Amino acid sequence: MFKKVILLLLALMMCACRPIAHYDDNSSSYSILTYKSSAALTLLPFLNDDYSITNSSSVDTFAHAFDEEKHDIIIAPLNVGINSCLKGCEYKLLAIIEYGTYNIISTKETLRRGVLGVLGQNTVNDYVIKYLQDSNNPNFEIKWYEDIDALKTSFMNQELDGMILDEINFNYMKGQVDYDLYKTTDLNNEYEYKTGFIKYPVVGLFVLNEVINNDQNGLVEFSRRLRSNINTYKNDKTTFNNTLMNSDISRLGYNDYKLIRESYNFCGLDFVYASSIYDELNVLMEICDIELNESVIIK
pLDDT tens-digit series, residues 243-282? 999 999 999 999 999 999 999 999 999 999 999 999 999 9
Confidence of residue 4 (pLDDT cuts 50, 70, 90): very low
Q: For residues 138-158, give the mean pLDDT.
A: 89
Angstrom distance (rounded) from CA 115 to CA 293:
36
15-22: long-range contacts, CB 8 A cutoff, minimum separation 24: 17/68, 17/70, 18/68, 18/69, 18/70, 18/71, 19/52, 19/70, 19/71, 19/72, 21/72, 21/210, 21/211, 21/215, 21/218, 22/50
Compute and round to an integer the Cα radius of gyration of the chain.
Answer: 20
Nearest CA to 53 out of 201, 247, 221, 214 is that of: 247
CB atoms inside a 10 Å sphere around CB 165: 25
pLDDT at 136: 58
pLDDT at 135: 60
Please state the separation of Cα 259 from the chain's center in Å.
Answer: 18
Q: For residues 278-295, give the mean pLDDT.
A: 96
Which amino acid is residue 44, in one-letter code? L
List pLDDT tens digits, range 60-97.
Answer: 999 999 999 999 999 999 999 999 999 999 999 999 99
Please state the separation of Cα 39 from the chain's center in Å.
Answer: 5
Which amino acid is residue 256, in one-letter code? D
Angstrom distance (rounded) from CA 150 to CA 240:
30
Confidence of residue 23 (pLDDT cuts 50, 70, 90): very low
- Do residues 163 and 151 touch, judged by C-beta distance below 8 A? yes
List pLDDT tens digits, range 161-205.
Answer: 999 999 999 999 999 999 999 999 899 999 999 999 989 999 999
Q: Which domains does the chain have, with CATH numbers?
A: 31-99+200-296 (3.40.190.10), 103-195 (3.40.190.10)
Run of H or E residues at 209: helix 209-214
Residues facing 210 on adjacent strands:
none
CB atoms inside a 10 Å sphere around CB 53: 20
pLDDT at 138: 62
Residue 12 pLDDT greater than 80, yes or no: no
Secondary structure class of 283 (helix, strand, coil): helix
Counting residues of the chain whose pLDDT is more than 90, the rounded percentage is 77
Q: At what angle do helices 124-136 and 78-86 cross, to 10 degrees?
A: 110
pLDDT at 137: 54
List pLDDT tens digits, range 43-56.
Answer: 999 998 889 999 99
Angstrom distance (rounded) from CA 185 to CA 204:
24
Angstrom distance (rounded) from CA 292 to CA 86:
8
List pLDDT tens digits, range 24-43.
Answer: 444 568 999 999 999 999 99
